[in-house]
Amino acid sequence: MSAVVGARMLDGVRQWLAESGTEPTPARVAEALRAQGRVLGDTEILGAAEQLRSELVGAGPLEPLLADASVTDVLVSAPDRVWVDRGGGLELTDITFRDAAALRRLAQRLAAVAGRRLDDARPWVDARLPDGTRLHAVLPPVAVGSTCLSLRVVRPKAFTLTELVEAGTIPPNGDGILRSLLEARLSFLISGGTGTGKTTLLSALLSLVGPMERIVLAEDSAELKPDHPHVVRLESRPANQEGAGLVGLDDLVRQALRMRPDRLVVGEVRGAEVVHLLAALNTGHEGGCGTVHANAAGDVPARLEALGTTAGLDRAALHSQMAAALSVVIHLVRDRTGRRRMAEVHVLERTASGLVVTVPALRWGERGFTRERGWSRLNTLLAGGGEGR
């Protein structure tokens, strides 16, 4: 857009459109400019119309970043601090907002699009936009200095295992292990930190489930996109402004059990739903899976124990449920170059004390997985549905 159409002129056009209640079409923008005594060419008018459309309907200055197929995350920490992640770590972009008020307006508008409230009385929001993009925003003074906006782009179609091998997420020949895990109908969790690719890998694996199987997903935010013909999606819901209408993940898991799932999947185990999930996997629901935040595969039992304790399940009972319900933990990491990769595979074993621990079975090596002491146990488990590799 021409520099002639500056910020002050756009403010005038924006006010005129708001007062007249019209859409920012090129014709209406031209009319608004004429009302201000401005006569501009078609190029300038179209540029002004596009900028206003982006501000009023799209994602404003962030539109080009969200349209970039390589971008997975857009993070805004200040009007002049817009970062992106294209899979190789965070990069500072040259995108800027006019001022802090413009950034706040965008965050509030996106929250409204998601059907959520974002204001001084409720200064944060965690929601999903209609296109699947995950939105998180925090307003000042909770966010010190400036509105903070985080957008996680959800790919419309799941990666294939072959693509993940080519991208270096799965080691050479590692896809064979994962296929055998699915064929054997083992229950498993994918662990890792934020942004390590847990959801991406889980979507890819679910895409390989037999077409005659019924997959029921329970998620806080619908992010899993398996390429599969029979998927039922359940999504949690926050309470409304009166505090009513809350639907939690634990509610979804209970409902999912009544929907005849061949594969029960919890997008992320993070609360009381762990009790219902473990109970379900102990009552004939083989092949269930999900993701969990953990710094290492060995930390997963402690993580589940903490979640189960807050849900009222005592330690001994939870470890008994865990021992019978889960077989494998797949752990993902993000290395110093920003690359997401599958670091190790552990099997679960119960110690003489009755507590569950994970035992390394496979670790990432230069040419593929290297076998650890838990390999014999994993190979036996895999042989239940296909030849162990």
Q: Give the pLDDT score at 338.
A: 77
Chain-centre distance of CA 148, in angstroms? Answer: 18
Residue 57 has pLDDT above 60, yes or no: no
CA distances from 367 to 7, 70, 171, 204, 370 (A): 56, 27, 7, 22, 9
Q: What is the DSSP letter of 199?
A: H
Mean pLDDT value across residues 194-198: 89
CATH number of the domain at 58-150, please? 3.30.450.370
Q: Give the pLDDT score at 244.
A: 83
Cβ atoms of 49 and 26 within 8 Å: the answer is: yes
Torsion of CA 21, 27, 33, 37, to 10 degrees: -120
CA distance 126 to 223: 13
Cβ atoms of 47 and 1 within 8 Å: the answer is: yes
Q: Six-digit token pair at 122?
A: 């409720």
Q: Identify which has the larger pLDDT, 21 or 316.
A: 316
Q: How many helices (H) and strands (E) does the chain have?
A: 13, 15
Q: pLDDT by residue (tens digit) across 231-269?
A: 999 998 887 777 788 898 889 988 998 999 999 999 989
Q: Would you place residue 226 in the very low, low, confident or very high pLDDT band (cuts 50, 70, 90)?
A: very high
Question: For the chain, what is the mean pLDDT?
Answer: 85
Q: Give the pLDDT score at 361.
A: 96
Mean pLDDT value across residues 310-317: 88
Q: What is the DSSP letter of 141?
A: T
CA distance 127 to 109: 12
Burial class for 331, CB neighbours closer than 10 Å (0-12, 13-18, 19+): buried
Q: Would you place residue 209 in the very low, low, confident or very high pLDDT band (cuts 50, 70, 90)?
A: very high
Q: What angle do CA 308, 309, 314 make, to 5 degrees?
A: 95
Q: Give the pLDDT score at 385.
A: 47
Residue 187 has pLDDT above 90, yes or no: yes
Residue 183 has pLDDT above 90, yes or no: yes
User: 161: left (phi > 0), else alpha (psi -120 to 50), else beta?
Assistant: alpha
Q: Give the pLDDT score at 42.
A: 66
Q: Give the pLDDT score at 4.
A: 41
CA distance 325 to 310: 19
Q: What angle do CA 376, 174, 232 make, to 5 degrees?
A: 100
Among 3-17, 176-190, 322-336, the range scoring the smallest mean pLDDT is 3-17
CA distance 195 to 87: 9
CA distance 145 to 127: 23
Q: pLDDT by residue (tens digit) across 61-78?
A: 898 898 888 898 999 999
Mean pLDDT value across residues 167-184: 91
Q: Which residue has the tokens 């294939």?
A: 160
Residue 51 has pLDDT above 70, yes or no: no
Q: Identify which has the larger pLDDT, 74 or 275.
A: 74
Q: pLDDT by residue (tens digit) across 97-108?
A: 989 998 998 999
Mean pLDDT value across residues 325-344: 90
High-pLDDT (> 70) share of the chain, %: 85
Per-residue buried b or exposed e for 31-65, using 16+ beta carbons within 10 Å of the residue's own CB: bbbeeeebebeeebbebbbbbbbbbeebbbbbbeb
CA distances from 141 to 98, 122, 138, 303, 380 (A): 20, 12, 9, 32, 56
Residue 34 has pLDDT above 80, yes or no: no
Q: Give the pLDDT score at 115.
A: 79
**All structural domains of the chain with their residue ranges:** 1-53, 58-150, 159-383
Q: Please, how many CA atoms are within 13 Å of residue 245, restricted to the half-sphere of its CB?
A: 7
Q: Would you place residue 386 in the very low, low, confident or very high pLDDT band (cuts 50, 70, 90)?
A: very low
Q: Would you place residue 223 in the very low, low, confident or very high pLDDT band (cuts 50, 70, 90)?
A: confident
- What CATH architecture is 159-383? 3-Layer(aba) Sandwich (3.40)
One-letter amino acid for residue 198 of the chain: K
CA distance 16 to 101: 19
Q: Would you place residue 29 in the very low, low, confident or very high pLDDT band (cuts 50, 70, 90)?
A: low
CA distance 247 to 239: 7
Residue 373 has pLDDT above 50, yes or no: yes
Residue 322 has pLDDT above 90, yes or no: yes
Residue 80 has pLDDT above 70, yes or no: yes
Q: Which residues contact 328 (CB under 8 A, 6 or more apart)?
A: 181, 186, 187, 188, 189, 345, 346, 347, 348, 378, 381
Q: Would you place residue 1 in the very low, low, confident or very high pLDDT band (cuts 50, 70, 90)?
A: very low
Mean pLDDT value across residues 354-364: 94
Q: pLDDT by residue (tens digit) across 375-384?
A: 999 999 998 7
